[in-house]
Amino acid sequence: MTKTFGKRVSKGIYIGLLFWFLIAQMPGAGAQGKSANAKPNFIFILVDDLGWSDLACYGSDFYETPNLDNLAAEGVRFSNAYASSPVCSPSRASILTGKYPARLDLTDWIPGRQATHRPGKGQKLLCQDFAEEMKLEEYSIAEALKDHDYHTFFAGKWHIGEDSIYWPEHQGFDINKGGWKAGSPKGGYFSPYVNPRLKSGPDGEYLTDRLTNEAIHFLNESKEQPFFLYLSYYTVHNPLNAKPETIEKYRKKASKLKAPQKEKFVDRSEWKQVLGKGNFRERMVQDHAVYAAMIEHMDENVGRLLQEVKDLKLDDNTIVIFTSDNGGLSTSEGSPTSNLPLRAGKGWLYEGGIREPLIIKWPGVAKGGSVNHSPVIATDFYPSILEMAGIEAIPQQHTDGVSLVSILKGDEKFSRDELYWHYPHYSNQGGRPAGAVRKGKYKLIEFYEDMQVELYDLDNDIGEQSDLSGKKPQLVKDLRKKLKDWRKSVKAKMPHQNPHYQP
């Protein structure tokens, strides 16, 4: 009996070893197989001033973005995704906290137009002071993940605190490469850089390349533990700098376009009456060679980063989120891009100023190549990432967001309450103080100078050309009340009258 039992044991061991050998040969085994039940990694890519129609997968036929188009083919592309502000600093704080900018009392870019421009007599309103930092009391998404054993990394533009005590290393990030008070690269996009949080590289090194190199280095150092990699490109914000050979490529491409020069811009000289000096004109055609080159450089680097994820066999367990902080710069400061078919751009509460590209890749969960039309907003990232990571929601923190997990899992019945905006400032791009609310397909904008409203059916009028406020008085009344009640609930500050105003 002993010998017979021994033979059975030997046979059992042989079969067991053969089973595990076959399993090891299956696709996804090895490093990926070991991490199948591990906490997911996160790569959050934020591009500065990238417009909704600045990617080929969102309709551009001038800019070339093959890597992001491929990401969209592997993930979910959102057609109704929004920034929580038409300018950068409020949006960035909103992403990290899950709260609306008005609730944070951070409603304009830091330090704001009033810090650099004296209010003119043509400005009917004076804007109140606002917080010039993301408060340390806020529990950022980086802090939440770090407290659950994530290694956290930040690279690029921060711009949510003048003092260094408010910079990334004090807001939950283990590593900070380039994040400080500045909203644009002070020394331009080529090394040497003027940045106390990023050492200059060799002369001529390109900033977008460098930030990606830092991110790739982090990946290699952190591949054995869950990580949160936040790559916040300075591009495509002014100043416009790109590599000469790529600029030349797009100059040749632009020269073949048939649009007459006079049709490329619409003059907006009426804005000068309120805002004073400024080259206010709205671009109608995407043909700016330097801007196009900057987008190509950004796309190349996103491709490099995601290829490294695959090479390290981390892609099956890495969630990628790609978006922008506000609409494309289309109405002033060179007007380098066009947001058509959307109206206006950065600095405005029209769709061109707040609707953003958003792509989320969640391997094994979200259906690749799908498009979702649900309205979503920047405050949603915080609760979404927590749920993806299996971390319990934090009371009183991500107050204003809704988790997108059900959408990503294919829930076609996803519904949400209204989306809100509060921008009580005159923008550098021509926009005037206003608030907005979107409910379903309808969006109401309330302009604070005279409290006049405009109402649009975004399903049938994405360009916001047909104001329906006179045709739907009851809907206007309902939405105005919702907007007013919301402002009260978040303690939103309203601008006050300018005593020196002269019509």
Helical spans, DSSP H, in 26-119: 31-34, 66-74, 88-97, 101-104, 113-116
Distances 485 to 73, 418, 432, 454 between C-alpha atoms, Å? 40, 12, 21, 18
Residue 62 falls inside a structural domain: yes
Residue 262's pLDDT band, with cuts at 50, 70 and 90, is low
Is the model's pLDDT at 153 over the cut of 90?
yes
Looking at residue 9, what is its pLDDT? Answer: 37
Looking at residue 280, what is its pLDDT? Answer: 87
Q: What is the chain's mean pLDDT, rounded?
A: 91
Looking at residue 261, what is its pLDDT? Answer: 66
Looking at residue 429, what is its pLDDT? Answer: 93
Residue type, 9: V
What are the tens digits of pLDDT across the range 326-355?
A: 999 999 999 999 999 999 999 999 999 999
Is the model's pLDDT at 15 over the cut of 70?
no
Domain range for residue 280? 38-415
Distances 502 to 123, 193, 270, 272, 427 between C-alpha atoms, Å? 8, 44, 15, 14, 19
Q: 317: how many CB neighbours lie within 10 A of its CB?
A: 20
What are the tens digits of pLDDT across the range 221-256?
A: 999 999 999 999 999 999 999 999 999 999 999 999
Is the model's pLDDT at 27 over the cut of 60?
no
Residue 351 falls inside a structural domain: yes
Residue 220's pLDDT band, with cuts at 50, 70 and 90, is very high
Phi first, then psi: what are they for 78, rounded to 5°? Answer: -100, 130
Residue 121's pLDDT band, with cuts at 50, 70 and 90, is confident
What are the tens digits of pLDDT across the range 316-331?
A: 999 999 999 999 999 9
> What's 376's domain CATH number?
3.40.720.10
What are the tens digits of pLDDT across the range 366-417?
A: 999 999 999 999 999 999 999 999 999 887 787 899 999 999 999 877 888 9
Coil vs helix vs strand at 324: strand
Residue 30 falls inside a structural domain: no
Mean pLDDT score, 156-184: 98
Residue 501 falls inside a structural domain: no
Q: How far apart are CA 459 and CA 164, in angstroms?
A: 44
Residues 313/162, Cβ–Cβ less than 8 Å: no
Residue 452 falls inside a structural domain: no
Residue 6 falls inside a structural domain: no
Task: Name the percent of the chain lying above pLDDT 90.
Answer: 82
Q: 403: how many CB neighbours lie within 10 A of its CB?
A: 18
Residue 23's pLDDT band, with cuts at 50, 70 and 90, is very low
Listed range (41-50, 196-205, 304-313, 390-399) with the worst mean pLDDT: 390-399
Residue 342 falls inside a structural domain: yes
Nearest one of 161, 174, 183, 162 to 232, comparing CA atoms: 183
Is the model's pLDDT at 444 over the cut of 80?
yes
Residue 441 falls inside a structural domain: no
Identify which has the larger pLDDT, 169 or 7: 169
Looking at residue 35, what is its pLDDT? Answer: 43
Is the model's pLDDT at 24 over the cut of 70?
no
Is the model's pLDDT at 215 over the cut of 70?
yes
Q: How many domains does the chain have?
A: 1
